[in-house]
Amino acid sequence: MSNKRDNKGSNSMWGGRFAEGPSAIMREINASIPFDKALWREDIAGSRAHVAMLAKQGIVSETDAKTIDEGLQQVAAEYEADGVPEDWDLEDIHMTVESRLTEIVGPAAGRLHTARSRNDQVATDFRMWVRTAMQRAISGIDAVLGGLVQRAEEHADSIMPGFTHLQTAQPVTLGHHLLAYFEMLVRDRSRFSDALARMDECPLGSAALAGTGFDLDRDMTAQALGFARPTRNSLDAVSDRDFALDYLMAASQCSLHLSRLAEEFIIWASQPFGFVKLPDTLSTGSSIMPQKRNPDAAELVRGHAGRVIGCATSLMVTMKGLPLAYSKDMQDDKPPVFEAAGLLDLSLAAMAGMVADSGFNTDRMRKAAEAGHATATDLADWLVRQADIPFREAHHITGAAVKLADEKGVALDGLTIEDLKAIDDRIDERVFDALSVDASVAARASYGGTAPIRVREQAKEARKRLEEF
């Protein structure tokens, strides 16, 4: 009988990767430095604010505080130049910074952690990082909004088919269509802005969960780190990740809207539509078919939306059953937020470029609107207004007109007055004033409608709103 198992000793059950046994597994599963090193700037900023406050309160000496602060600045310079080293035995960014600080300044570094815990430290670091991500998302949204307004102004008169069920419904203007996305993204912007206001509280000073017996000035550290106020409850401060969930929910909704716009560009760029030519910088060719121009950037924006939504779901599931205050599960709060932020930033940048630099084939759009009998509703409305026909009867008459136009291969306004009178003799020459796509969009002049005059007004108002942000 083979004694190979015995030769490996007790660690054989752990396998090659974990040859050191349980300690190796614990070391790897416990280490967050591979991802939370992204927080090094926030961690050092928080430590500098904390030690300055400790000195002001007389908890550490001015000399030690100055030594620690200078050491932290050196650590920051090293990380900026060379990146953050990964020592899994140090677990996380907090211990990594403190270890390097100790190497630089000696025992004085040990005073830095007075009156704080890694629990309030990471809550502060992460909150600051998410705050920056939210501000970055708002800037990215503003870039897309600016492009949408610009193109809407250019195409206030450009007629295209409006769709329901992806079937031609009524003619609209391209400007009107683009401003619909402007409204969606303005709401997305407001969600990030609202979230920023809600999270504007600093956890630092909450310590592990119960506060501290040291006489801290939490208002000082909050202000130093750009927060409006300190958090009100130490338990909530270290266990809350609502700010991260707020970011992910806002990012999810924003990604949904970007995905819808990307899908429209994908459809419009296809040969059966031919409504738009995507910029070369955001398209790729085929490795085998030389005629192809693939909407890869738009497809990736569409795909990224699913991943962002997955990130939001991930963190919600992580947090759903945790008792107060801190549990190690919360170490998994950062990867989904980091991933979502990277995806959202890319998606916003891609869509800003796509909106700004795509070329619209307005002739093709107009012909599609005309070919799809998009003015059928206008004919029905005319019959109601001018011939005093009940709408249901008018709907039936219009259906007959559409059928005849299909048989003759013309648009509704291509039918002769004789054609129309043969369907219903109450129709007269005035009907042609309502049957063109131009007349149709011009008639939709209610507030928020697609009439060019309204689109120009809405574009002007949109630009004003954008400037006021």
How far apart CA 380 and CA 388 sit, in angstroms, is: 11
Q: What tokens were used for 279?
A: 């910029």
Per-residue pLDDT, averaged over 395-419, amounts to 88
pLDDT of the residue at 292: 56
**Taking the C-alpha atoms of 336, 341, 346 and 350 in order, what is their torsion angle to the nearest 10 degrees?**
110
Q: What tokens were used for 261?
A: 């716009």
pLDDT of the residue at 374: 75
Catalytic residue among 23, 61, 139, 286: 286
Q: State yes or no: pLDDT of 439 exceeds 70.
A: yes
Q: State yes or no: pLDDT of 12 exceeds 70.
A: no
How far apart CA 360 and CA 150 sit, in angstroms, is: 13
Helix (H, G, I), strand (E, B) or coil at 169: strand
pLDDT of the residue at 9: 45
pLDDT of the residue at 181: 98
Catalytic residue among 10, 165, 287, 446: 165
Q: What tokens were used for 268?
A: 């419009």
pLDDT of the residue at 110: 94
Pair 238, 119: CB distance under 8 Å: yes
> Model's pTM, two decimal places?
0.89
Per-residue pLDDT, averaged over 396-418, amounts to 87
Among the listed residues 332, 339, 330, 331, the one whose alpha carbon sits nearest the alpha carbon of residue 311 = 339
Alpha helix (H) ranges present in 93-173?
93-105, 118-154
Pair 325, 239: CB distance under 8 Å: yes
CB burial of residue 125 (10 Å; 0-12, 13-18, 19+): buried
**Encoded amino acid at 309, one letter:** I
- What does the pLDDT look like over 87-97, one tens digit per residue? 988 889 999 99
Name the one residue in this structure whose structure tokens are 């030594």. Answer: 67
pLDDT of the residue at 283: 74
Alpha helix (H) ranges present in 31-117?
33-36, 40-56, 62-82, 93-105
Number of helices (H) and strands (E), helices first, in the chain?
20, 6
Per-residue pLDDT, averaged over 10-35, amounts to 70
What DSSP element (H or E) covers 276?
strand 276-277
pLDDT of the residue at 202: 98
- What does the pLDDT look like over 363-391, one tens digit per residue? 999 999 888 777 888 888 888 988 888 98
pLDDT of the residue at 18: 60
In the chain the domains, ranked by start, together with CATH numbers, are: 20-114 (1.10.275.10), 119-366 (1.20.200.10), 376-435 (1.10.40.30)
Q: State yes or no: pLDDT of 10 exceeds 50.
A: no
What is the 8-class DSSP label of residue 287?
Answer: S
Per-residue pLDDT, averaged over 65-92, amounts to 95
Distances (CA, A) of 253 to 213, 240, 297, 394: 43, 22, 19, 41
Q: State yes or no: pLDDT of 213 exceeds 90.
A: yes
Per-residue pLDDT, averaged over 108-115, amounts to 95
Q: Known catalytic residue: 94?
A: no
What is the 8-class DSSP label of residue 115?
Answer: T
Q: List, in sequence order, every residue forming a beta bridge with 208; answer none if it has no partner.
A: none
pLDDT of the residue at 8: 45
- What does the pLDDT look like over 120-177, one tens digit per residue? 999 999 999 999 999 999 999 999 999 999 999 999 999 999 998 988 888 999 999 9
Q: Known catalytic residue: 165?
A: yes
Choose from 66-75, 266-275, 418-427 the range with maximum mean pLDDT. 66-75
Among the listed residues 129, 119, 121, 94, the one whose alpha carbon sits nearest the alpha carbon of residue 243 = 129
**Is the preceding peptide bond at 439 cis, omega within 30 degrees of 0?**
no
Indicate the average pLDDT of the chain. 91
What angle (nearest 5°) sits at the alpha carbon of residue 13, between those of residues 9 and 14? Answer: 105
